[in-house]
Amino acid sequence: MRTRTILGTLAALALLTACGGGDEEPTAENKPSKAPSLSAEEREKIREDAGLPSPTDEQKAAYIKALNAINADIVHGKDEKAIDRGINQCSSIKRYKDDEAKQVELTNSRFSSPSAPEGHGEAIAKQILKATHANLCPDF
């Protein structure tokens, strides 16, 4: 009985190692695909079509400064990512114009960081929302 168990285990291990990935180089057929990156012009067109703001360089700088004044971990050195998140938040401000609680909820979930993967909490989310509204989409 013990021999059968050992042989069964060895057969299972042999099968698993036979199914494992090899050390072959990626080719066009087995290479993982990357999402196509958009140019600045393409992003601008998408934003325009969606009715979202296209902040100036001055607005972007003021926005990053405002976020860093709240907590440097919000931006954590990724200015463009923070700006993109802010513009996305503008769409939420526009969509949920009369629902501040929903705006705060979406702000908190949208502005996460490695040290705050679930967001920075309601109080900071309110400050982020205010900075976003003031700097990126004051007309919403």
Instruction: Give residue-wise pLDDT tens across range 97-117.
Output: 999 999 999 999 999 999 999
pTM of the predicted model over 0.85: no
State CA 95 to chain mean position distance.
Answer: 20
pLDDT band at 39 (very low <50, low <70, confident <90, very high): confident
Indicate the angle between helix axes 57-70 and 122-135, nearest 10 degrees. 160
SS3 sequence of 69-113: HHCHHHHCCCHHHHHHHHHHHHHHHHHCCCCHHHHHHHHHHHCCE
**Look-up of token digits 């705060």:** 104
Q: What are the two backbone dihedrals, phi and then psi, of residue 116, each rounded to the nearest 5 degrees?
A: -140, 70
**How far is Cα 83 from Cα 59, in angstroms, rounded to an integer?**
10
Instruction: For residues 82-111, give the mean pLDDT.
Output: 96
pLDDT band at 52 (very low <50, low <70, confident <90, very high): confident
Indicate the angle between helix axes 79-95 and 122-135, nearest 10 degrees. 90
